Structure 1
Amino acid sequence: MKILLVEDDKQVADALSEALRDRNYVVETAQDGTEGLELAKTFTYDLIILDLILPKLDGITVCQQLRSSGNRTLILMLTGKDTSDDRVLGLDVGADDYVVKPFDLKELLARIRALLRRQETTLPPILEWERLRFDPNHYEVKYNEQLLQLTPKEYALLELLLRSNSRILSRRAILDNLWEFEDPPEEETVKAHVRGLRSKLKNAGAPANFIENIYGVGYRLNPNV
């Protein structure tokens, strides 16, 4: 899951980013509304955490512009203002939830999980491909009923491939989805993670080409295995 955090308070941004990364979210940050809006329009995120009071462009305006352009990404608004008018305004312009500072971190993380579950209500709880079973609720992957021990990045890569449903993903697309914009690795890193994931799948009995390499294009789960 990839989250955009738009927050100008560095202490809040650093603490929240660290907590989210500890829970295997990919987090990108912006320190003003203009930068946040540009990132939100350029890249795909599962959730945007958006402060209300921001330099250059406030959170209400950012939210309005995203919604008016057809962007339906989940938005959780943060603010130090605790009045019903502010909450109503944030929700009226298209925010999906609203949390007041100072917030309890455990409660905020629970609200984030709830929003992301809402996004996934139309998706099957168990993802399957051939003899592979992927349970996103329990971070469990099995092939032929054999449990696979995956790294967080291998797990995220496999989930991305499963949700792409045989659509070919370029290395750049995989980097954009699984790593942070500010410090992405080289594309060869994707190749290394694919190789590691293939090895673990093969050891569990999957065909060597379970993850198919379309030369010069990218990767997908092989529809013909």
Structure 2
Amino acid sequence: MSAVKGIRIMLVDDEPHILQFLEIGLVNEGYEVITALDGMSAVTLAQDFQPHVVILDVMMPGVDGFEACRMIKKIGFNVAIIMLTAKDDVEDRVKGLTLGADDYMVKPFSFDELLARIQARLRNQFPSLLGEVTYGPFQIDDRRKEIIYEQKVLELSPTEYELLKFMVLNHGIVLSKTKILDTVWSYDFGGEDNIVEVYIRSLREKLNDKGHQLIRTFRGSGYRIDLP
């Protein structure tokens, strides 16, 4: 991972030895870590600490992981919750995801897998925190507002940067013109939606995407970036 300074993680488990093991590992990786031994303490701590990621055990006395997940998500700040369970039960996974969990891991798990899950959630929900993230041939440096494609820095306007970043971060998903306008130009945009076509055409030129194989058009639906 390129940079994790300033990224806050909260660990919640009623087993102190698990908390200690995970805390030492994550602190060594550079994360800012806080721990809680029960669900209610986790909810209270979350309000002040506002973690980017919560690693939350399901089975705890009192307020269990499911209820803690629901309460933390209700606080209102952006947070990714990875739930831990001792049993691989589909019903439990569905319940956790329905209450707002973003990912699920079954105990026992490797620390490397946990790191990979954390990084995946950060890339999805907090890409700017990572400084620079890589997706296929693209490198996005949100701090420098710079995108590198096939090892070449693209000359992009601020709007082109935001549009291409949005499409790369959502690669494989067809994005409608309305969704693009709402996200890149904001909801108060009063122009015509053909402005999206103009910017897509410009991006294709800068990406040398003459055959429209990178940025694909789905007539009546929108656009999709496909990565190798």
> What is residue 69 of structure 2 aligned with on the other side?
63
Q: Does 1:125 align with 2:133?
A: no
Per the alignment, residue 202 of structure 1 pairs with none
What SS does the aligned partner of 1:5 have? strand
**Post-superposition CA distance 1:71-125 (Å, at most 9, x none):** 4311111111211001111111000000010111111111111111112346762
User: Could you tell me which residue of structure 1 aligns to residue 11 of structure 2?
Assistant: 5
Flag as ranges the 4+ runs of structure 1 deviating above 3 A. Answer: 121-124
Q: Determine the C-alpha separation between the residues in 1 that align with 2:61 and 2:13.
A: 9
Q: 2:35 aligns to what SS in structure 1?
A: strand
C-alpha distance in 2 between matches for 1:55 and 1:72:
26
- For residues 73 and 20 of structure 2, what CA distance do their matches in structure 1 show? 27
Cα RMSD for the two superposed structures: 2.0
Matches within 5 A, 1:22-171: 22-121=28-127, 125-128=141-144
Task: Name the aligned partner's letter for residue 97 of structure 1.
Answer: D
- Using the alignment, how far apart are the partners of 1:46 and 1:65 within structure 2? 15
Question: Given residue 103 of structure 2, which amino acid in structure 1 is its aligned partner?
Answer: D
Cα distance, 1:126 vs. partner? 4.1
> 1: CA distance between counterparts of 2:116 and 2:35?
20
Q: Take 2:62 and 2:12, find their aligned partners in 1: how far apart are those partners?
A: 12
What TM-score, normalized to structure 1?
Answer: 0.54
**SS of residue matched to 1:127:** coil
CA contact (8 A) 2:50 2:77 kept: no
Report the Cα distance in structure 1 between the residues aligned to 2:107 and 2:80, rounded to whole angstroms: 19
Where in structure 2 are there 5+ consecutive unaligned residues?
A: 1-6, 130-139, 147-228
- Does the Cα contact within 8 Å between 2:12 and 2:42 map onto a contact in 1? yes
Query: Which of 1 and 2 has greater Rg?
Result: 2
Q: What CA distance in whole angstroms lies between the structure 2 residues aligned with 1:26 and 1:121?
A: 17
Residue 16 in structure 1 maps to residue 26 in structure 2: no
> How does the TM-score come out when normalised to structure 2?
0.53
Displacement of 1:46: 1.1
Query: Equivalent residue for 1:175?
Result: none
Aligned residues: 130
Q: Please say if residues 128 and 143 of structure 2, whose CA atoms lie closer than 8 Å, have aligned partners that are also in contact.
A: no
Distance 2:69 2:78 in 1: 10
- Identical amino acids, percent of aligned pairs: 42
